[in-house]
Structure 1
Amino acid sequence: MALPAAHARSRERVLRICATGGDAHALRVRLLREFRALLGAEAFAFLLTDPVTAVGCAPVARVPVMPELPRLIRLKYLTRADRWTSLAGAAALSGVPEDERGPLWEELLRPAGVRDVASAVFRDRFGCWGFLDLWRYGAEFGAADLAFLDAVAGPVTEALRRAQAGAFPAHPPGADRPGPLVLLLSPDLRVRGRTPGAPAYLAGLIPPEEGRAPVPAAAYNVAAQLLAREAGVDPNPARARVHLADGLWLTLRAARIDDGPGTGMPAPSDDGPGTGMPAPSDREIAVTIEETTPADRLDVFCRAHGLTARETELLGHLADGADTGTAARAMSLSAHTVQDHLKSVFTKTGTRHRRGLLARALGT
């Protein structure tokens, strides 16, 4: 549909914001200012996501039920209606029959006086880069509002991906490398305990207000994804990779604590449902925080820079120490073709030589 004049003007402003770019936090703050001015949303949550698992992390949010944040995130992940992992375009909760809106609406949003929620996902062929929820208390979102969100989804997705690509400078020498750190959560996602270093890294992900403890929202999201897997809502692993600062990427994983005799704390697993006995819902959840491995970092690096499958394969061989001839043989290509692929990688990543490329990609 053709956008109304106000929506069309706002779309042009959004395009300029996306073209200007910037880091992922500043970009989302500017976009939210424009979205809220046009759409009148009283509350919001704009999260980055792991491009593969689509698990949220590093939110920019304002929710009026902050004391209920663990419950809000848990119910969000357990709700199927308008779930970002299945959205094909912007959607409003008002378009879903009330008896199909799920536990987030029934248990929290409706009792809190929310009238409608507009949701959008920012996904391309390289992965899922974020999702957005806008809450209204006074009125429902209209068709023009959803058409506007659809019209800006492509540029916003590209801008978010570029912002993530900018989070790969070479790892500064001597920088602290975490972990593994552990946060222990109750089944309803209340913090039960943590290792000493965990709060500092959580504060780095979401800087707290003066005098307040850090809000472990990234840990809540990973743990909520574990609950969603157990409930059969979404099969993706309970894992998220997130940029902290200065090129340092962290991986958060969630797993149930095994209370069997002599077993101790299990290593978080990415095994799918059906690989063993279901985890009892009353067991505590361990969320681990550690530096992202070079292989996982390389995967995000390639996706964020929009590398093709062949370019990604080549970079993997280079990361393993291959020279041009070895990579050419492994890929069944000529050395000339490998060099052409490498030049394309240099262009896309803004690097000039292999050492600088690998330093950024691997964090070495």
Structure 2
Amino acid sequence: MPGDDRAVRAAVLAEIRQVVPCDAYVWVLTDPTTTVGASPLAEVPSLQDLPTLIRLKYLTPTNRWTTLAGDEVATLVGATGGHLDQSLVWRELLRSYGVHDVASMVLRDTQGCWGFLDLWRSAPTSRAFSRSDRAFLASVLPELTQSLRASLAGTFAVPAEKAPSDGPAVLLLNDTLKLATQTAQADTQLRALLPTLPGQSPVPAVALNVAAQLLALESGIDTHAPTARLHRGGGRWLQVRAARLDPEPETGAMIAVTIEHAPPAQRLEVYCRVIGLTARERELVGHLVGGADTRGVAAVLGIGEYTVNDHLRSIFAKAGVNSRRQLITNAHG
């Protein structure tokens, strides 16, 4: 199901749970470069606790997705030697849900970090995740990563809708990630990113993720920038960023989150990663998007024109296109 990453994840989870049962899960797609969460799919006991869960997840070093290898499945019981209170997120939240083990894995390849998946076990009859559970999950990780990348690649083949000119969406949050206020544009963007029932407020999941990353950066837990790029629909990609505002006497130093159309260079970088280009191929596509022809690319890269054409054939195959015009359209939007 190219371009429909939520459908891909839902179908995959249904298959996984037939082999490795779980009582709840959190599956978040991430920006491939910054590793910051962008598109969540979750089944958890209480959505009201979502800001707390996200904040604690980002501030917990234990089994953090940024420290796991791409072929590794770690468990909370294993990482803590059975002393679950060593984990901040378990000590302050998951314990209240009765969670007694979490299997954590990251979807990472040579092109970047594409997401992380946590499976929770909390039912009294559920046992801790076994060695065979971990082996099965590890065996499907490469295919999961490839499927997600393919679904994201499909979003670039859709002609990009014209971005509105009404400025960026802005949200203000405090350090507990409680939403203080937001612009009307923010409400519109959030509803587009995560469908919301009429009469209900949209869930600001992506804003919570970048804000939580800012807290992790400030706390020295992680060094990645508090920004994420994600697909909005209609071939459009957004860029979401968090920054600390100057403190006010009454509110303190709030966190501002902006949601705006991804600049061409940001879209291009993600596109080159999802279709699996090498560093040299990315450089070549960058020159094509900038308007260079074969001769110009050859001169800049210091290679022959025949070599440029060889690279282009490889790029076309990876991108699933047969012309420079289509490649540039997909890359630039």
TM-score by length of 2: 0.93
User: Cα gap change, 1:173/1:153 in structure 2, threshold over 3 Å: closer, same or farther?
Assistant: closer
**Equivalents in 2 of 1:245, 1:161: separation in Å?**
16
Are 1:154 and 2:142 matched, yes or no? Answer: yes
CA contact (8 A) 1:170 1:359 kept: no
Q: Point out the more displaced range, 90-99 or 138-147.
A: 90-99
Q: 2:276 aligns with which of 306, 318, 333?
A: 306
Aligned residue number for residue 176 of structure 2 = 188
| Displacement of 1:228 | 0.5
Aligned residue number for residue 283 of structure 1 = 253
Are 1:214 and 2:202 matched, yes or no? Answer: yes
CA contact (8 A) 2:191 2:202 kept: yes
CA contact (8 A) 2:97 2:122 kept: no
Are 1:343 and 2:313 matched, yes or no? Answer: yes
The root-mean-square deviation of aligned C-alpha atoms, in Å, is 1.8
| Displacement of 1:349 | 0.8
Aligned residue number for residue 92 of structure 1 = 75
Q: 1:293 aligns with which of 249, 263, 266?
A: 263
User: Cα gap change, 1:114/1:212 in structure 2, threshold over 3 Å: closer, same or farther?
Assistant: same
| Displacement of 1:175 | 4.9
User: In structure 1, the residue corresponding to 2:19 is in which secondary structure?
Assistant: helix
Are 1:37 and 2:15 matched, yes or no? Answer: no
How many positions carry a matched residue from both structures?
A: 325
Aligned residue number for residue 322 of structure 1 = 292
User: In structure 2, the residue corresponding to 1:166 is in which secondary structure?
Assistant: helix
CA contact (8 A) 2:107 2:144 kept: yes
User: Cα gap change, 1:106/1:304 in structure 2, threshold over 3 Å: closer, same or farther?
Assistant: same
Aligned residue number for residue 64 of structure 1 = 45
User: Cα gap change, 1:137/1:173 in structure 2, threshold over 3 Å: closer, same or farther?
Assistant: closer
Q: Which residue identity is paired with 1:288?
A: T
Q: Which residue identity is paired with 2:77?
A: S
User: In structure 1, the residue corresponding to 2:156 is in which secondary structure?
Assistant: coil
User: In structure 1, the residue corresponding to 2:97 is in which secondary structure?
Assistant: coil
> Structure 1 regions of 5+ residues with no counterpart?
1-19, 262-280
1:129-173 deviations in Å (ceiling 9; x for gaps)? 111011110321111111111100111011111111111035445
1:82-130 deviations in Å (ceiling 9; x for gaps)? 0011112011101122267321011001122111111111100000111
**Equivalents in 2 of 1:177, 1:307: separation in Å?**
32
**Equivalents in 2 of 1:108, 1:177: separation in Å?**
41
CA contact (8 A) 1:129 1:160 kept: yes
**Equivalents in 1 of 2:37, 2:201: separation in Å?**
21
> Structure 2 regions of 5+ residues with no counterpart?
none
**Equivalents in 1 of 2:35, 2:137: separation in Å?**
19
Q: 1:243 aligns with which of 231, 241, 252?
A: 231
Are 1:101 and 2:86 matched, yes or no? Answer: yes
